[in-house]
Amino acid sequence: MATTVITQAITMATIATTQAIIMDMVAITQVTTTVTIIGITTMAMTTVATTMVITIGIVTTTLLAMKTIFTGMAITTTA
């Protein structure tokens, strides 16, 4: 569990950094939204859901790209 938490923290930081470069407003919104979701709010969840749908698409693309890069690096290192 400890390893998983640390890995997720690093991954989230990387994704946040990538998004911050691509969309400053989205990154800032996520930070604020994350705190709000953990807090309480229910009505905001609808708005957050819409924002997350767009964000998830971006994050998914980023993760897929990261996997490809890591795979490429592994092959290159082996060669």
Tokens describing residue 52: 């997350």
The amino acid at residue 10 is I
pLDDT at 21: 46
Cα–Cα distance measured from residue 79 to residue 44, given in angstroms and rounded to the nearest whole number: 51
Q: How confident is the model at residue 2 (pLDDT cuts 50, 70, 90)?
A: low
**DSSP letter at 42?**
S
pLDDT over threshold 50, residue 71: yes
Which pTM does this prediction carry? 0.22
Please write the tens of the pLDDT for every residue from 25-65: 444 444 444 444 444 444 444 444 445 545 555 555 555 55
Cα–Cα distance measured from residue 66 to residue 45, given in angstroms and rounded to the nearest whole number: 29
Contacts of 59 by beta carbon, 8 Å cutoff, 6+ apart: 15, 19
Q: Where are the domains of the chain?
A: 2-78
